[in-house]
Structure 1
């Protein structure tokens, strides 16, 4: 039984890690897109002035 429990724990940990990595990658992508958009807006404002 201990071997089966260890396997279940390992699979659950791996799934959790993959989910966390996916969330972090999505958050990083969103932050990068927001930063790039803000930069373009600032450049447009400077050009108008």
Structure 2
């Protein structure tokens, strides 16, 4: 699959969100995830982040 978009993950706790993102990262060339900043802190630093201005 060329890309996967994950949105509205606020209902999932940060640890499970991180596990979900890592799982899908293996199945797409590009993975786009929208997260609140506190949820994004649970992700590995190996992911490229784009933050709002």
Please say whether Structure 1 and Structure 2 have the same fold, judged by a TM-score greater than 0.5.
Answer: no
Higher strand share: 2
Give the structure, 1 or 2, with the largest relative contact order (CA under 8 Å, sep 6 or more): 2
Q: TM-score, normalised by structure 1?
A: 0.31
Higher helix share: 1
Q: Give the structure with higher Rg (CA).
A: 1
